[in-house]
Amino acid sequence: MSMLITAVDLISRFLFLLAILITAALVFIVTYDVGARNLGLTPPNWAVNTVEYGMLHITFLALPWLVRTRGHVCVELVLTYLPARARTAWELALHAISALICFYLAYRSGLSLADTIAKGSYEVRSFDMPMWMLFASMPAGFLLGGLQFVAFPLRGDSFFAGAAAEKGGL
């Protein structure tokens, strides 16, 4: 089990680094687009769509690592005031529910990905893009995110950990 968790962590980290590279590329694209407009040059017609597609993929590529590092949204107010035993049970339930939601969304987005591949659909805007490319990062991001939620209790980690726990969660 430990090797599987390590593999999920490594893949999650790799996808996060890929999201960082895409973010850097988008910064350059936006800078170039704005600069061209301000200098009276013709801006590239592909810039806006490229940024939109990039932001979509950044979301799903970063998702598993954000779960791993507790970068996701978690309201600790309830956990702060629960007794330790109840907190542990509540956290296990939260991990299970979060993982099930991620697995369900991985399944649904996987069906959408398969459907667009089968139909050969295209997104037609300033440039044509196969529709499957829009869905490509969704199933992997949700699947790995769900596995990260499952890995929390297996690692002995907690939502309620770190500086927030020491300060009473507020």
* Phi, then psi, of 19 in degrees rounded to 5: -60, -40
Top-confidence residue, 117 or 71: 117
d(CA 67, CA 75): 14
Query: How confident is the model at residue 161, as a pLDDT?
Result: 58
Query: How confident is the model at residue 57, as a pLDDT?
Result: 96
pLDDT in tens, 137-152: 999 999 999 999 999 8
Residue 78 has pLDDT above 60, yes or no: yes
Q: Which of 52, 69, 63 is CA-nearest to residue 18?
A: 63
d(CA 71, CA 65): 8
Query: For the residues 107-123, what does the mean pLDDT come to?
Result: 94
- Count the Cβ atoms, other than its own, within 10 Å of residue 68: 24
Query: For the residues 79-98, what does the mean pLDDT come to?
Result: 86
- For 130, the enclosing helix (H) or strand (E) is strand 128-130
